[in-house]
Amino acid sequence: MDPLHLITRRHLFKNCAVGVGSLALASLLAESGFAAPGPSTQKIPALQYPQKAKNVIYLFMAGGPSQLELFDYKPKLNELNGKPIPDSYLAGKRFAFMDSSFKQRTTLLGSRRKFERFGKSGTYISESIPHIAKIVDDIAIVKTVSTDVFNHAPAILFMNSGSSQFGRPSMGAWVSYGIGSECKNLPSFVVMLSGPRGPRGGAVNWGSGFLPTTHQGVPFRASGDPIVDISSPMGISDHHQRDSLDAINALNAKRLQETGDAEIQTRISQYEMAYRMQTSAPELTDLSGETKESLELYGVDPTKPSFAKNCLLARRLVERGVRFVQLYHTNWDSHGGPGETLEKDFEARCKEVDQASAALVMDLKQRGLLKDTLVIWGGEFGRTPMGENRTSTGRNHHIDSATMWFAGGGVKSGITVGETDELGFNAVEDGCHVHDIHATILHLLGLEHTKLTFRFQGRDFRLTDVKGRLIDKLLA
């Protein structure tokens, strides 16, 4: 037998350190987007639409903020406070806490907030968020967002990945995979947390699922080094670290040639990114160059972690080309128990985010960044117009109507999309679903949501699953 017939494709690539085998492997990896040293140089597919937004800042209010205390003004609900909700509203509905909704008769709970009209649009906004009220002509409010899941962890995952099942890529990972990043020295997807705890579900909410792990979100810490172990150990010089990294990368490159495993290329990319971030990350979080006016606009104390500080860092991240920045703030759960009342606790959450959320939009606008940056504000679901019988000051989870707002990045400003019924229970005009939100976000980024797919386990997956339509009224 001819000895050449005994050489497998893998052995050929292994033994051809240079020449056609190496070139073929490099070509295959480049075509799949894995040969790049990082997401900044990943092959970017042709965009299907004009790219209105180049960056995304997603302000995620984990816990489900009550739209009825913030944006959805319902005088009739206030009028009927304490009266039973008609059976027609509850037929076929499910809620997170069945006892509080069905075993005892559920009564309506009016809002105690005062609402006023603001801006040229004359939009009703609650007294709880006076700073957001000032930017109402710069944002688009969507009142009729529905979802499929009524418990926190799966609902947060659904809002972030389009699925309540673990293992699917998050929206930030899909965006990184779809259009890459303009930043060489920072990750394409950054996550920051504030509030008493992290969001339920944890890191799966910013995971990459079956996409290459180079696209997963990288959490930045609120104090100390922004990333764990970003600083070199004592006694390790930059020269020694570079030598070690080169040796590790050489071993990984050899293994990559032998196996063609794309995750090895990801590992090489991440080692290089971590090395570059030892300089870029500390520079990013050093706020000494920010003016007093800028710090006061956001309400930032540079010495203390806060949602406000994270908002300022988000602006600095998009200035440096980071593609997707997500800020989680907890706890917006409002069942009425300890730490979850619609009075003291809800007001505390509003004060923690109101000024900085508005400041971010204003700051981006005055710097000329808002036109290219899509800002998103919202939680995983809304709250019921009924109170919970276990307390007199709480609302249950509600999947049929929640409110989100958007600014910049190709979104119309000063508008409200959708309307709910007189009790704020169901959409009666322009209802939209989480999949529609995702489809519209991808559209603003220049991507057709049905074409942004990844084949895994024999089928093509996408962020919008098999659904999703554009919310045309949102588009400028």
Q: What is the pLDDT of residues 393-409, one digit of tens each?
A: 799 999 999 999 999 99
Helix residue spans in 367-433 (DSSP H): none
- Give the pLDDT score at 90: 80
Residue 28 covered by a domain: no
Q: Is residue 48 part of a domain?
A: no
Q: Is residue 252, in this structure, part of any structural domain at all?
A: no
Q: Is residue 27 part of a domain?
A: no
Reported as a single tens digit per residue, the pLDDT across 225-255 is: 666 555 556 666 666 666 666 677 677 777 7
Domain that holds residue 299: 53-228+273-474
Average pLDDT of the residues of the chain:
85
The answer to whether residue 320 is domain-embedded is yes
Tell me, what's the pLDDT at 43?
44
Task: Convert the pLDDT of each residue in 314-326 to its tens digit.
Answer: 999 999 999 999 9
Give a yes or no: residue 142 inside a domain. yes
Please report which residue ranges of 150-261 form alpha helices under DSSP H: 152-161, 171-179, 238-259
- The secondary element (H helix, E strand) that includes residue 435 is helix 434-444
Long-range contacts of 224-232 (CB under 8 A, 24+ apart): 225/281, 225/282, 226/281, 226/282, 226/284, 226/285, 227/274, 227/277, 227/281, 230/274, 230/277, 230/278, 230/281, 230/282, 231/278, 232/278
Q: Is the pLDDT of residue 204 over 60?
A: yes
CATH of the domain at 69: 3.40.720.10
What pLDDT is recorded for position 391? 58
Residue 94 falls inside a structural domain: yes
Is 233 part of a structural domain of the chain? no
Total domains, the chain: 1
